[in-house]
Structure 1
Amino acid sequence: MQEKPPRAKAEASAARRQPAQQRSRERLDRILEVAQQLIAEKGSEHVKMSEIAELAEISIGSLYQYFPDKRAIVRTLAELYAAESRRCVREALDAVQDKAQLLGAFASLVDQYYQIVLDKPVMRDISSALRSDKELMNIEIAESKACGALLAAAIRRVKPRVDSKRVNALAFLIWQMGEETMRLAVAHKRGEGALLVDAYKRMTLRAIEDV
């Protein structure tokens, strides 16, 4: 039989691997989907790896091939939510060219984030899990720095003469305080939580305007 040239052999090998890779991605998606469902229903501290495996219809051994423990699942979900949040923030702030747009975009982001947190119990639980784990909290801090940098860049476009270090520090603080505000708001009744978010929004808008 004639031997295939190297390129043909590589393409054939890739074709054989592709279904397995696709199944692996689908299985990973299923695991994360099930984990989110269980965390939303029970809270992450009450979810067991065996429950995730059973609902995802895989063996516990297969689950451990993807995630060594539940903490790794929470971390992955947090990173996915953070990436999506950053994308929304970038889209909203990249278009800012004047003060009115800046204040309007930030106020809208606060309202949107609060509504998302209310609508998705899993996000509330993951946020609390991050807060209680020192290593996992680094994810939240890194996200506050990333989103704060986007806010700082928008402020500098509107106010090019501002002190960059001061703006960077303010923007990071605003974002981290926002995370704390959301945790506090969802721990209260809906009306009380809304008042807390509104107070945070008015306070931060004033800080942005006065910088």
Structure 2
Amino acid sequence: MARVQRMLDACAELLDEGGYSELSTTRIAERAGVAIGSVYQFFPDKKAITQALGLRYLDLFSVRVGERLAERHFSRWTDAIDAVVDEYIDMHRNVPGFGSLHFGDVVDIRLLDGVADNNRIIALRLRELVTSVAGVEDSEELDRAIRVAVESADATLKLAFRHVPEGDQDLIEETKLLVRSYLERHFGSN
């Protein structure tokens, strides 16, 4: 629905301008050009709107990573890590609100799902992509390794963007190396 998309777009813009603490349903309604009642028709509060935005980002990230993986042939599946990190970086730099919200961790560690933390949800999505697109066999070991890789990448990418708005390129490259090396150690270089 176009109204909901306008509200989510307004939320993204406002997050970039003032962060979550400055966000309000009133400001979202004003920016989206809708009545405050329209906001409450779909979202009970600002957290619910940011949750919907975080889920939109997760879906967009999954689609874009899937496309990147499908368009290239990798001699080793762990080489696909660069494509995943590059997509995250591109979204951080170019998708309104993503750099401020990421996948919702700024608001709530369980924003994307009431039970699992945000990085767990991202790890599950990436595991699905790795098994479907790269043809890697699913296993508990793969699940654990991708969870560790996501947590590690999350920490180092936050560091890369902490003081450099476009991301410290050296730290971005270190993130890729860290995750690739870790996964290759567990699954070999093939």
TM-score, normalisation: structure 2: 0.79
Measured after TM superposition, the shift of residue 187 of structure 1 is 0.6
Deviations 1:136-180 (A, max 9, x none): 1634421222213433566664xx6xx932222112221232223
CA deviation after TM superposition for structure 1 residue 95, in Å: 6.9
The answer for the alignment partner of 2:145 in structure 1 is 170
Task: Note if 1:195 corresponds to 2:170.
Answer: yes
CA distance in 2, matches of 1:205, 1:166: 16
- Give 1:45 shift: 1.4
Say if 1:40 and 1:122, in contact at 8 Å, map to a contact too.
yes
Match of 2:181 in 1: 206
Bigger share in helix: 1
Deviation per CA, 1:100-123: give whole Å up to 9, x if none: 252443212212321321334611
Is 1:27 paired with 2:38? no
The one of 93, 97, 119 equivalent to 1:118 is 93
Equivalent position amino acid for 2:175 in 1: Y
* Pick aligned residue for 2:62 from 86, 104, 108: 86
Whole-angstrom distance in 1 between the partners of 2:151 and 2:72: 21
Aligned positions, number: 182
Distance (whole Å) between structure 2 residues aligned to residue 41 and residue 57 of structure 1: 17
Residue of structure 2 equivalent to 1:150: 129
8 Å CA contact 1:31–1:53 kept in 2: the answer is yes
Query: Equivalents in 1 of 2:29, 2:80: separation in Å?
Result: 41
- The runs of 5 or more residues in structure 2 that have no matched partner are none
The amino acid of 1:146's aligned partner reads R
User: What secondary structure, in the 3-state scheme, does the structure 2 residue paired with 1:68 have?
Assistant: coil
The alpha-carbon distance between structure 1 residues 132 and 65, as it changes in their structure 2 partners (threshold 3 A), is closer
Give yes or no for the alignment of 1:108 onto 2:83: yes
Quote the sequence identity (%): 24
TM-score, structure 1 normalization? 0.72
The aligned runs of 1:123-134 (5 Å cut-off) are: 123-127=98-102, 129-134=104-109
Q: Which segments of 5 or more consecutive residues in structure 1 lack a partner in the other structure?
A: 1-24
Larger Rg: 1
Q: CA RMSD in A?
A: 2.8
Q: Is the 8 A contact 1:152 1:167 kept in 2?
A: no
Q: Verify the 8 A CA contact 1:39 1:47 in the aligned structure 2.
A: yes
Cα separation, 1, equivalents of 2:25 and 2:165: 32
Q: Which amino acid aligns with 1:52?
A: I
Output the CA distance in 1 between the equivalents of 2:181 and 2:130.
14
Distance 1:97 1:168 in 2: 23
Matched residue, 1:180? 155
